[in-house]
Amino acid sequence: MSATIQSIETLLVDLPTIRPHKLSMTTMACQTLVIVRMRHSDGIEGLGEGTTIGGLAYGPESPESIKRNIDTYLAPLLIGQPSGNVNALRARLERHARGNMIAKSALETALLDAQGKRLGLSVAELLGGARQTHLPVLWTLASGDTAKDIDEALLRLEQRRHGDFKLKIGANPVKHDVRHVAAIKEALGDRAGVRVDVNQAWDESTAVYGIQALQDAGIELIEQAIPAREHAGLTRLADRFNVPMLADEAVQDARDGLDLARGGFSGAFALKIAKSGGINGVLELAHVAQAAGIGLYGGTLLEGTIGTAASLHAWATLPEMAWGTEMFGPLLLKDDIVVEPLDYREFGVDLPTGPGLGITLDEDKLAHYARK
């Protein structure tokens, strides 16, 4: 008889960041992870993570709502069900619960982790196998201070930890942001690529001015300059400039990807397991992008090690990503809740080995940081 899901526990885990992380909509000094522990009748435990940015500043799910909705609505749909048929369980969640993509992603991750442990396979192997085992990782410069950001970038290059950098802009007047970014690009020169993430902060006319100035400064990629629902505007910007546009909040799932591609968008899609409801959903989006000739970028919602590992297993199954990844979430945190941290080296990170996600919880650290 196949194993069944016996219990699902969710924990809010508050981890301090190494420095304030400034975005257009909030500044973070702490990241809250929602950790899922899914126990099965064969004794196997699957781990998952649901994480967002700045409470409700980023999107409609907060850490507290993720936990409450899993505990109240989603877990009862899964408890008692056979563990191994992830597709059937995904369909069951979709049929009975709208939205809640981060919560669903955490549950799907726990299901895949458990199935991998059960079969002695990594999550990447469950998905057909890894095409790459070392993935490039950029670093986000988000102190808001130009000199500090330059020093931080030069140190990361010297350490051979990151070879490309992203700047979070949009909270300040556009001319201020452009000066800040241009100064950093000038200081780094050809040693590193520099991109920007506007986090939807500009209207289209502001974006036209800002993107032209950023293009002139040598910036190589512009992420989500205008609000997510303005698909036509994003396509106009992609047509107008040589510097590529990266769609992030505008492209949640395969349907969004298809709509943008049909509308003539060219550039790249930021993939995030959290916004697509899990690994299977984000790979569906990736395949739409590949069919349309749109580049891929492995995005993060600043997950901890569990969520980052899940993303890495997904990205590893894809062809080389045109724009690399930003899977640096664990490096932004002062501490971790796992026994063996991810191995960041040579401008990237190694895919974890071992069955499932290849991640083991540190029970003492988890107990210390879990919200009481």
Of 100-109, 142-151, 199-208, 322-331, the poorest mean pLDDT is in 142-151
Q: Which of 168, 185, 272, 275 is catalytic?
A: 168
What pLDDT score was predicted for residue 143? 84
326 catalytically annotated: yes
Strand partners, 36: 10, 48
Position 28 pLDDT exceeds 90: no
Question: In the block, which residue shows the tokens 């002062």?
Answer: 334
What pLDDT score was predicted for residue 1? 60
Confidence tier at 21 by pLDDT (50, 70, 90) = confident
* Percent of the chain whose predicted confidence (pLDDT) is above 90: 93
Among the listed residues 29, 103, 113, 52, the one whose alpha carbon sits nearest the alpha carbon of residue 354: 113
Position 29 pLDDT exceeds 90: no
Confidence tier at 25 by pLDDT (50, 70, 90) = low
Q: Which of 108, 152, 249, 326 is catalytic?
A: 326
Helix (H) or strand (E) holding 50: strand 45-51
pLDDT tens column, 159-172: 999 999 999 999 99
Region 127-146 average pLDDT = 95
Position 320 pLDDT exceeds 90: no
Kindly tell me the sign of the dihedral angle through the C-alpha atoms of 251, 257, 259, 265.
positive
Phi, psi of 10 (to 5 degrees): -120, 140
Confidence tier at 57 by pLDDT (50, 70, 90) = confident
Position 66 pLDDT exceeds 90: yes
Residue predicted with more confidence, 143 or 99: 99
Domains of the chain: 5-120+362-369 (3.30.390.10), 126-350 (3.20.20.120)
CA dihedral 281, 285, 286, 291 (to 10 degrees): 140
Position 24 pLDDT exceeds 80: no
Q: DSSP string of 305-350?
A: HHHHHHHHHHHHTSSPPTT-B---GGGGBS--SBSS---EETTEEE
What pLDDT score was predicted for residue 182? 98
Cα distance between residue 309 and residue 175, in whole Å: 38
Cα distance between residue 138 and residue 165, in whole Å: 5
Q: In the predicted model, what is the mean pLDDT of the chain?
A: 96
pLDDT tens column, 172-193: 999 999 999 999 999 999 999 9
Region 1-25 average pLDDT = 88
Cα distance between residue 99 and residue 113, in whole Å: 22
pLDDT tens column, 194-214: 999 999 999 999 999 999 999
Position 334 pLDDT exceeds 90: yes
| C-alpha angle 303-270-257 in degrees, rounded to nearest 5 | 130
CB 34 within 8 A of CB 64: no
What stretches of 214-331 adopt beta strand conformation (E)? 222-223, 245-247, 268-271, 295-298
Cα distance between residue 188 and residue 67, in whole Å: 42
